[in-house]
Structure formats: C-alpha cells, structure tokens
Amino acid sequence: MARSTRTRLTRSLALALATASSVGVAATSAASANADVSTTSSVKTRAQVPWASVGTGWVAADVVRGGVNHLVLASPGGQAYEIATLAKNEVVVAISHDGKHVATQRPNSSDGLPHPRVWDMRTGKASNLPINLSNLTFTRPNGTAVMGFNEVNSYGRYSTSGTQQRVVTAGRSGVGDYPVITPNPNGLTDAVTSTRAGRSSVSLYNHAGFTKARTFSQPTGSQGCTATGWKNTTTLIETCDIRGKNGVAAPQVFAQNIAGGAPKALTSGTYPGGDAYSGFSDAADTSIGTLAMTASPYGGDFGGTVFRLSGTKATTKVGPSSVNPNGGAYAGGYATKIVGDKILYASSPMGGRSTKRMVAEYDVRTKKLTYLVGNNSKYTGEVNGYAVIDPRA
C-alpha cells in the first residue's frame, strides 16, 4: 500500500496498483537516517543489522541474486543486509516504522489472490495473513499490526504473527472500491482513499474501531483526491486532479486539516518545462525548503522529478543530473518519494524484472546520490518490489 506515493498515470490507477507499488508506510526519527553510512562492499547478515539505527530512508526489497529471491534491508549509506529467502514470485509491499517487520505478497495465478505474509526481520521467519488481504500497511506509531482490505473491500487488522484483531465488513464501513490506508503517525486515526463511480475521495476513520469520522471536502474543480502522507498529526497531504479554465485536469497538492474544512493549496500551475497536463503529486518540507514532486497524467511512471517551491510555484529543479544512466529507457530512474532530506529514485515498474533496475536515494543537503539495491549498487540483482521507511506515510 502503501502506499506508495508514485507519480501515476491517473489517481484511480494509483489506487488500483497501490498494493504493488514501491513505497512502504512507516517512520522513525529523522535523526537515525544517516546512522549507517558504511562503505564496505560486503553483504551483511540480519544478525548484523544495527536495529537502534534503523529509521528514515532505510529500504526493504526483494532482489533475485544468484537465482535466489532474497529479502534485503538496505541503509541510506548503501549497506545491504540479507534477511531471508523469499518464494520465487514474492514481492515486498510494506515496511514497519522500525524496519523490524515487512509485508510481502505471493501472487497466485490459479486463484488471483495476493497470499500475503509478514516477516520478522530479526528472525527471518514469516507468518501467513489471510490469502485475500491486500493494500497492506503497518499500524502507527509502533508497527505492531498490519492492516488492509480484501477483494470485496472489507477491512482487516492482524498482529505481526497473523492473529486477527479487527475485521469490519465493507457494507458496514462504507469504504468504497480499491481502498488504501494512510495511518496517522499518532495511531489514533487513519486516512482512507477510496473510489466510487471512478472518482476518488479521502475519509478519516477512527483507528480503534475503524469507524468513519468524516469525508473531506474537495477543492473547486476537483475530479478526485488521494491521501499522499502526513505533514503532522493534524494535517494530511492530498493530491487532487484539478480541472483548470482550459478544461485540462492536472494533479495539485493540498493540505487538509483532519478536523475538516476546505483544503489549502500547496502547489499550483505547472512545473518548468511541463505542459497543461502536468502538475504535482507531493509536497514536503525539507532542510533546504519545501519541495514538490512532479506528476503527469500520461508520463508519471516514467519521469518524476523534484522542484523547489516558492509559494505554490515550482522554481528550480532539485536532484542529480541523471539516475541509473546505464539502466535503459524503462530502468533509468525517476523520483517516487521525498523522504526526510532524501529523494527516493527507482526504475519504472514497466521495465519488469531486470538486473538494470535499481533503487537509489539522493541527499538534498550533501547532493550525494547513493544506489541502495540493484544496478550500480553494492547489492546487484533483479529488483522488483521495495518499501521505504518514511516519517510522513
């Protein structure tokens, strides 16, 4: 699920593909982000993971290496730790706030269900979840449970050992289609993005009983909104497709107070070099100012970039001149998330499993690009799914 915060072709496609997206949902303090900056090229074991230092910017991924599908944890410094061996087609979809648990899926072609598991990253052992649970994310603030929805959009919450904690049927909750959860960092509420009649909206749920508190209003001209992340415990960041005076819809970012009321625009217009269809999928505060990530209805998965904001307008581009330049057209690299003071880059999922795919992070302060897994990294192989520890998601 996480929820990934990728730039997508459409917001509805983002909901439909959220389970297979790259971005996890968890966080710890930003102070731990750079704790492990090892330059060694050796691969370490799960027993060597410095758990007290795991936090913002650490990435979990499934990487096929030597014919084996490995569950890997990588630090922002590029140090890789092999955790466990996964099934052939098993992919990472979410990571807990402390990195100690990861959710995976094993799509089964015979029944079309996700067959998820939760992995204890300290022991390398997995616990099964209901075979039809998807759009997974971990609870906040402690990641002690995992939650998601089944194929009829009923909500389920389970402990990291697979024990049922809470189930709410779709009929009672009124969730809607393709729901995706963005849990509040305080653990008291959950933002839920869902779709009805092709239009997405965001509602606030009380976490304990998973009962709806309110559905947020949408800005003028909106054709649908999705939850992107949290600015703080009282302010949710949303991305909404806004139809302009020229009739063209482009995504823009808004701040929504969870008490209700009208959302506040954080971005407007297009970015330098963008056309009328181009807009933004996210906006986040960093140590160098507020940054916005671009989105395009027909180019999102192939070219997310980041710009510094002046007011609501994009000004100068932030990031490396190129990412994974020897990766090819689909495996090159595009911005998928702003995580603390780092920009997460990844290869397009359209590239399929390839040794040229990769995940990398760019530090906006030091202006250093570090490859974490896959091509150009110290842990090469075929990268497919991945999730990042993010304080806002």
Q: What are phi and psi of 46, to 5 degrees?
A: -65, -30
Q: How far apart are CA 378 and CA 392, in angstroms?
A: 28
Q: What are phi and psi of 14, to 5 degrees?
A: -60, -40
Decide if 126 is inside a domain: yes
Q: How far apart are CA 217 and CA 226, in angstroms?
A: 12
CA distances, 95 to each of 107, 157, 340, 357 (Å): 18, 15, 16, 20
Decide if 3 is inside a domain: no
**pLDDT at residue number 177:** 85
For residues 140 and 42, the model is more confident at 140
- What does R_g of the chain's alpha carbons equal in angstroms? 19
Give the model's confidence band at 3: pLDDT under 50 very low, under 70 low, under 90 confident, else very high: very low
Q: What is the mean pLDDT of residues 41-61?
A: 95
Which helix (DSSP H) or strand (DSSP E) does residue 204 occupy?
strand 199-206
Check pLDDT > 80 for residue 35.
no
Q: What is the mean pLDDT of residues 29-42?
A: 41
* 31-40, 58-67, 163-172, 270-279: least confidently modelled range: 31-40
Q: What is the pLDDT of residues 177-204, one digit of tens each?
A: 889 999 999 999 999 999 988 899 999 9
Tokens of 356: 């040229």
Domain count, the chain: 1
Q: How many residues does the chain have?
A: 393
Give the model's confidence band at 29: pLDDT under 50 very low, under 70 low, under 90 confident, else very high: very low
**Range(s) of the domain holding residue 101:** 11-388
C-alpha 159, offset from chain centre: 21
Q: What is the mean pLDDT of residues 306-332?
A: 94
In terms of Cβ atoms closer than 10 Å to its own Cβ (0-12, 13-18, 19+), residue 111 is exposed
Decide if 334 is inside a domain: yes
8 Å CB contact between 362 and 40: no
Check pLDDT > 60 for residue 31.
no
State the residue for tokens 């929805």: 149
Give the model's confidence band at 7: pLDDT under 50 very low, under 70 low, under 90 confident, else very high: very low
64 forms bridges with which residues in the sheet?
Answer: 69, 382
* 172-181, 309-318, 326-335, 342-351: least confidently modelled range: 172-181
User: Nearest CA to 66 among 379, 346, 365?
Assistant: 379
Pairing of strands 44-45, 80-85: parallel
Q: How far apart are CA 149 and CA 170, in angstroms?
A: 9
Give the model's confidence band at 174: pLDDT under 50 very low, under 70 low, under 90 confident, else very high: low
**pLDDT at residue number 20:** 34
Q: What is the mean pLDDT of residues 46-61?
A: 98
Residues 6 or more apart whose CB falls under 8 angstroms from that of 8 comprise: 14, 17, 281, 295, 300, 301
Decide if 293 is inside a domain: yes
**pLDDT at residue number 245:** 77
Residues 6 or more apart whose CB falls under 8 angstroms from that of 13 comprise: none
CATH for 254? 2.120.10.30
8 Å CB contact between 238 and 225: yes
Decide if 6 is inside a domain: no
Decide if 2 is inside a domain: no
| H helix runs in the chain, sequence order | 11-16, 170-173
Decide if 336 is inside a domain: yes
Decide if 167 is inside a domain: yes
**Portion of the chain with pLDDT greater than 90, in percent:** 77
Give the model's confidence band at 105: pLDDT under 50 very low, under 70 low, under 90 confident, else very high: very high
Mean pLDDT of the chain: 88
